Amino acid sequence: MSSSDGHPMAGEPEAGRADRSLPERSAPKLSVPAIRDRKHGGEPLVMVTAYDAPSARVAAAAGVDIILVGDSLGMVVLGYEDTLHVTMEDMVSHTAAVARTGPPQVIVADMPWTSYHEGPAKAVTNAARLVRAGATAVKLEGGTKRLKVLQAILDAEIPVMGHLGLTPQSVHAMGGFRVQGRNRADGKMLVEDAIAIADAGCFAIVLEGIPEDLAAQITRSVPVPTIGIGAGGECDGQVLVFHDIVGLGGKRAPRFVRRYADLEGLAGEAVARWATDVRAHRFPSAEEAYH
Ligand code: KIV
């Protein structure tokens, strides 16, 4: 039984609730250094996005290695066309919601657009806000041109994950969400970027939307794990958006998404059945009322 704000009523059994128990997580907790060390062997790393308490609980219980509070939340849950509208306030609020569930996993929070583009001092302040909200590490997009900012955040003892290839915050500069690194010169630049940010101290690098053979070359060239999304199977790990995996991502999914459930269909069916029961005076029952 729930109060109108979703809390169980004091002293009441949770009558009428479906069993929400989740599978036990099987993977041990990985620290940032342990994630970096996975470059030297072990299973592929598994990272998934979470933007709120329910998705964080599911991801934690499923035993993923890393939870990413991605700025994709702008498109996935806030309804924007791109990630450029996501603010520091959004990221702090969603990071805190994930962290309050107390997952054993490392939480990586995305630094939103402009939060690290106005110089190292502002970038450190913003990265620290995300850590105070509960992040273990931050992620930022870009290669060689981010080195100063990267160094400043690392100097503040905040671990940084890099992000190269199709970097969504550059959507206008790229001319749309397009696969990157298709020609030799662009590919070479991405390899150089990856080596530069790995040498600077990134503990892992997301490779998004690049050809598989380029991702494989980058993976061979850097001493830290690469985590791919739309970058083929040769990376040291994979990341997907939670809502895409469980079928809450809307109709159109890119080809690199594999959907494992249809929660949108299931949820729609559940709400429709409840509506039918209300209209037929079958809800609430005597057991679901106070006497
Ligand atoms: O914001 C996000 O979800 C991401 C992943 C696509 C890597 O950055």
- Give the model confidence (pLDDT) of 217-251 as tens digits: 999 999 999 999 999 999 999 999 999 999 999 87
* pTM check: above 0.85: yes
Q: What percent of the chain has pLDDT over 90?
A: 87
In ligand 1, the atom with minimum distance to the C-alpha of 71 is 1
Residue 114 has pLDDT above 80, yes or no: yes
Residues 175-200, mean pLDDT to the nearest whole number: 97
Query: Which of these, 6, 15, 7, 5, lies nearest to 290 by C-alpha position?
Result: 15
Give the dihedral of Cα atoms 211, 217, 221, 225; nearest 10 deg: 50
Q: Where are the alpha helices (H) located in the chain, listed in sequence order?
A: 32-37, 53-62, 73-76, 88-99, 120-132, 147-155, 171-174, 184-200, 212-221, 242-246, 263-279
Residues 274-287, mean pLDDT to the nearest whole number: 98
Residue 164 has pLDDT above 90, yes or no: yes
**2: DSSP letter:** B
Residue 69 has pLDDT above 70, yes or no: yes
User: Which tokens is 46 given?
Assistant: 């598994």
Q: Using one digit for the tens of pLDDT, what is the confidence trace for 139-156?
A: 999 999 999 999 999 999
In ligand 1, the atom with minimum distance to the C-alpha of 241 is 3
In ligand 1, the atom with minimum distance to the C-alpha of 227 is 7
First and final C-alpha spacing in the chain: 14
Domains of the chain, by residue range, sit at 32-172+182-260, 263-291
pLDDT at 4: 43
Which residue in the list 208, 234, 264, 288 is annotated as catalytic? 208
What is the Cα–Cα distance from 63 to 94, expressed in whole angstroms?
20
- Going by pLDDT thresholds of 50, 70 and 90, the confidence category of residue 7 is low
Going from the Cα of 125 to the center of ligand 1, the distance in angstroms, rounded, reads 22
Residue 168 has pLDDT above 70, yes or no: yes
Count CB-CB contacts under 10 A for residue 201.
17
DSSP helix/strand/coil, 108? strand
What is the Cα–Cα distance from 261 to 12, expressed in whole angstroms?
32
What is the Cα–Cα distance from 218 to 191, expressed in whole angstroms?
5
Count CB-CB contacts under 10 A for residue 25.
16
The length of the chain, given as a count of residues? 291
Residues 177-200, mean pLDDT to the nearest whole number: 97
What is the Cα–Cα distance from 204 to 273, expressed in whole angstroms?
45
User: Which tokens is 244 given?
Assistant: 């895409």
User: Which tokens is 230 given?
Assistant: 């739309």
Distances (CA, A) of 110 to 88, 92, 104, 127, 177: 9, 10, 19, 9, 18
User: Is 208 a residue of the active site?
Assistant: yes
pLDDT at 253: 85
Ligand 1 site-directed mutation target among 55, 110, 177, 227, most atoms within 8 Å of CB: 110
Q: Between these two residues, 36 and 41, which has the higher pLDDT value?
A: 36
- Going by pLDDT thresholds of 50, 70 and 90, the confidence category of residue 14 is low
Ligand 1 site-directed mutation target among 239, 242, 245, 248, most atoms within 8 Å of CB: 239
- The arrangement of secondary structure in 32-172+182-260, i.e. its CATH architecture, is Alpha-Beta Barrel (3.20)
Residue 19 has pLDDT above 90, yes or no: no
Residues 27-44, mean pLDDT to the nearest whole number: 89
Query: Which of these, 240, 287, 266, lies nearest to 46 by C-alpha position?
Result: 240
Residues 106-120, mean pLDDT to the nearest whole number: 98
Going from the Cα of 49 to the center of ligand 1, the distance in angstroms, rounded, reads 7
| Residue owning the nearest CA to atom 2 of ligand 1 | 70
Pairing of strands 237-240, 45-49: parallel
Query: Which of these, 106, 67, 114, lies nearest to 90 by C-alpha position?
Result: 114
**Averaged pLDDT of the chain:** 92
Q: H/E element holding 115?
A: none
Residues 17-21, mean pLDDT to the nearest whole number: 51
